[in-house]
Structure 1
Amino acid sequence: MGRVRRININLWSGCLVLVLLNITSIDKGDAELKMEKEEKAMFVFGDSIFDPGNIVYVKGREKWLESLHWPYGETYFKHPTGRFSDGRIVPDFIATLAGLPMLSPYLQPHPTPFTYGANFAAGGVGVIVGQINLPTQLNYLKQVVKSLKQELGDRGAKRILEKAVYLFSFGGNDYLNFHSQNPNSTKSERRIYIDLVIGNLTNGIKAVYSVGGRKFAYLNIMPIGCAPISRVVSSGACEQELMEMAREHNKAFSKALKKLERELPGFRYSIFDYYKSIIDRIKHPYKYGLKESKTACCGVGPFRRSGCGENRTFEVCSEPFEYLWFDQGHPTEKVNLQIADLIWSGPPNLCAPYNVKTLFGY
């Protein structure tokens, strides 16, 4: 592990016809390809796992936000961007694979043209919790829809919205917050809260469907109890109550999506098993070219559980590509790339009933 530093006349006629038909086919094919390319779009909703820097534009957060300080962004951008990683995040890689530009923060002045989509995700939020939670992000989408209609007309906007893929990562912060505020909760109380989160998330999906969304992609909740920030409270082990809530959420959400598929005409979805993918990297890091899967690359304290980028002394590894976690709860760019590749073209045991590449093809 790297050191740690601180801080053939018939024949010819026939041939000619074939050539002309060929040229016509090629021209038509090129036109269709161009149209398809122009109609690709991706709209991103979620938390810090997907945040490209929206949290930077939240009043009162910009001065102290750790992801605006070194060493965040250092691996790829060479400067902090507000992303909670040493480099690119999953939506950045998915956009590239889809032939789209990386989506800038929606809240950034002059963001990426909405014909390509938009990224509404923000750090520290959930389906329910946080200032830029799911309802707020859905309001942002409504503003984008209005803008697209003004620019392209109702028909043009409808085409983009129906062809787009809607990528979601939500829930982790809801359960971390619940666990923090209700350390002695009963199993029935946790079940009620999980149902509340799933209900609100399902309503959110229906809201996107109502404005034209038809293709949805989701990451289920990762094993939040195994993140460096959670291990400390369980003497180095994964925090089992959080693990149970993540598993219960993932199971219930899978059932909810199957129900939506039956109820909503044209609804297609992909659900990526983020939980299973991260757990396997925790247990077998060397399989994935990693050396450390419990301790973060950057931070202070046991497992470097917090403090990365804050205005105080912290430790930072010299080779983030050897680590699963960059900071207390966010993967390194290397792991984000591995996850994005699986979301894009992964097998059915990880990405079902479709992968995102297939969704973009519809």
Structure 2
Amino acid sequence: MANLSASCISFLLCFTTCINLISSHYLPENHVALFIFGDSLFDPGNNNYINTTADFRANFYPYGETFFKCPTGRFSDGRLIPDFIAQFAGLPIIPTYLQPGKRKFTDGVNFASGGAGALVESHQGFVVDLETQIKYFNKVEKSLRQELGDAGAKKLMSKAVYLISIGGNDYFTKNSSVSDEEFVSMVLGNLTVALKVIYSFL
């Protein structure tokens, strides 16, 4: 009888573990993730987790008071455009990439940083520039491949929606010695590189 009970317990543990493994790798056929890059228009609080000044943070009132009832790091008193898009897509609010702790990326992740630009030099040292956001995205892609396998990760990322809002801050920090034409070319060049990197994973 004792052996039978031990066998039942072993079976149940094995069965539960198998179910958990299957469910953790299973995504509904119509599941779409949301990956977000940008500046303060899209930043949900990444700047809370970097060494920066109060000028590049929104972790104090009146920010957040109308929806979250506390400052979240969003440069808004409520939600941002990506929050509404996530809601309409049936997704939870997409988390910040830099938030500490174990994270699940199958719904997407937000890399945006208030004050960031397409150019590394824009507010350098105070924000997460686009090039660094793309490097973080590269790490997420590797994490998804480990979790879902190569085919599963590729399927998720090829169906995902990518929101990008960046470039305006570059013009606030423009070097006067660079012509307007050269500057526009630099900004567009960096955006093009970022888009090509994202596209290479699809």
- TM-score normalized with structure 2 length: 0.79
Counterpart check, 1:208 vs 2:198: yes
In structure 2, the residue matched to 1:152 is: 148
Q: 3-state SS of the aligned residue for 1:200? A: helix
Distance 1:65 1:124, change over 3 A: closer
Q: Percent identity?
A: 51
Q: Which residue of 2 aligns with 1:44?
A: 36
Q: Where in structure 2 are the equivalents of 1:87-236 lying within 5 Å?
A: 87-110=78-101, 113-128=104-119, 129=122, 130=124, 131-178=127-174, 181-182=175-176, 189-212=179-202
Residues 192 and 50 of structure 1, relative CA distance in 2, 3 Å threshold: same
Q: Is the 8 A contact 2:57 2:114 kept in 1?
A: no
RMSD: 1.9
Structure 1 Cα separation of the partners of residues 189 and 56 of structure 2: 31
Rounded to whole Å, the distance in 1 between the matches of 2:160 and 2:40 is 22
- Report the Cα offset of residue 111 of structure 1: 6.5
Q: Determine if contact 1:52/1:81 at 8 Å carries over to the other structure.
A: yes
Task: Find the aligned partners of 2:58 and 2:50 in 1 and give their Cα distance.
Answer: 13
Q: Counterpart in 1 of 2:63?
A: 72
Q: Is the 8 A contact 2:48 2:57 kept in 1?
A: no
Distance in 2 (alpha carbons) for counterparts of 1:43 and 1:83: 17
CA deviation profile, 1:174-203 (whole Å, cap 9, x unmatched): 01111xx52xx68xx111100110011011
Aligned residue identity for 2:142: K
Counterpart AA for 2:198 = V
- CA shift for structure 1 position 159: 0.6
TM-score, normalised with respect to structure 1: 0.45
Contact 1:112 1:118 in 2 (8 A): no
1:47 and 1:138 map into 2 onto residues whose CA distance is 13
1:34 is displaced (CA, Å) by 3.8
Asked if the contact 2:40/2:114 (under 8 Å) is kept, the reply is yes
In structure 2, what is the Cα distance between the partners aligned to 1:206 and 1:66? 30
2:128 match: secondary structure: coil
Alpha-carbon distance, 1:110 to partner: 3.1
What's the counterpart of residue 29 of structure 2?
35
Q: Post-superposition shift, 1:149?
A: 0.6
Q: Quick check: 1:45–1:169 contact (8 Å CA) kept in 2? A: yes
Residues 105 and 111, structure 1, Cα contact 8 Å, conserved in 2: no
Partner residue of 1:54? 46
More helix as a share of residues: 1
Q: What does residue range 170-319 of structure 1 map to in structure 2 within 5 Å?
A: 170-178=166-174, 181-182=175-176, 189-212=179-202
CA 1:35–1:95: 2 relative to 1, 3 Å:
same
Output the CA distance in 1 between the equivalents of 2:97 and 2:198: 17
Q: Secondary structure at the match of 2:162?
A: strand
Gaps of 5+ in 2: 1-26
Between the aligned partners of 2:57 and 2:109, the Cα distance in structure 1 is 24
Which whole-Å CA distance do the structure 2 matches of 1:144 and 1:101 have between them?
A: 18
CA–CA distance in structure 2, aligned partners of residues 114 and 209 of structure 1 = 18
8 Å CA contact 1:54, 1:106 repeated in 2:
yes
